[in-house]
A and B are shown apart, each in its own frame.
Chain A
């Protein structure tokens, strides 16, 4: 079983839709969880960063972590064509200096 699983998509939605992106993981030691957005031919950009379980909201984006289920989600409300990108989840255990473990990314396309 891979440490982090992420459905690659592609996921296609109309403008204004609510988008749900998800990752599952197997290592219960993961404590830090991140979502990155990557536009085509660009470097990943940090979108959301959460520690342990719970929700975090930033504008149209909400990140959820359910450590009991080893499941994290990113919700995008009122999706826009500019949200079309690949979304990567990443996570890390508590130890300092440990590298991030990334999902392979989900490609999202929002049509106008």
Chain B
């Protein structure tokens, strides 16, 4: 079965600093990959999704970007963090032909 790794688990960053969150997947090939942000009281917000290497769709315009340099690697980045970027960032995958999504353990980001 598939496994999703997210790194780091927690992160505290100052406003204006850069960000790089990594998601790696094992046990499957060519999955759809997703980045979500979960803020208190706001539910899951889809940020980006990718159907393949180098293919990124953005759902919400913001100061974040995503890249998929390899089939099983999905990276979330920012050049300058804002206070509003604080939250719980979740990577998810959807298997080819499936509808359900499977989530990673998440990265808790606090921007001070």
Interface centre among A42, A46, A99, A102 (most CB of B within 10 A): A99
Q: How far does the alpha carbon of A109 sit from the alpha carbon of B107 in the complex, in Å? A: 24
Contact with A along B71-112 (1 / 0, CB 8 A): 000000000000000001010000001011111111010000
Q: Residues of B within 8 Å of A, CB-based: how many?
A: 23
Task: Tell me if A42 and B100 are in contact (CB < 8 A).
Answer: no
Q: Are B32 and A43 in contact (CB under 8 A)?
A: no
Q: Mark A68-112, 1 if CB is under 8 A from B, else 0.
A: 000000000000000000001010100011011011110000000
Q: Known contacts A46-B100, A88-B44; is A97 also within 8 Å of B108 by CB?
A: no
Tally of chain A residues near chain B (CB < 8 A) = 23
**Which residues in window 7-48 of B have CB below 8 A to A?**
32, 34, 41-44, 46
- B99 contacts A102, CB within 8 Å? no
* Tally of contacts, chain A with chain B, CB under 8 A: 48
* Residue numbers in B under 8 Å from A49 (CB-CB): 99-100
Known A32-B99, A42-B105: A102·B90 in contact at CB below 8 Å: no
A99 near B44: Cβ-Cβ < 8 Å: no
**A57 interface hit (Cβ, 8 Å):** no
Of A8, A42, A90, A103, the residue contacting B106 (CB under 8 A) is A42
Say whether B100 contacts A104, CB under 8 Å: no
Identify A34's interface contact among B42, B43, B51, B100, CB under 8 A.
B100
Report yes or no: B42 in contact with A104, Cβ–Cβ below 8 A: yes
- Give A6's nearest chain B residue, CB to CB: B43
Chain B residues in 8 Å Cβ range of A42:
105-106
A102 and B92 CA atoms in complex are apart in Å by 13
Residues of A within 8 A of B (CB): 8, 32, 34, 36, 41-46, 49, 51, 88, 90, 92, 96-97, 99-100, 102-105
10 inter-chain pairs at a CB distance below 8 angstroms, sorted by A residue, are A32-B99, A34-B101, A42-B105, A43-B103, A88-B43, A88-B44, A92-B99, A97-B51, A99-B59, A104-B43
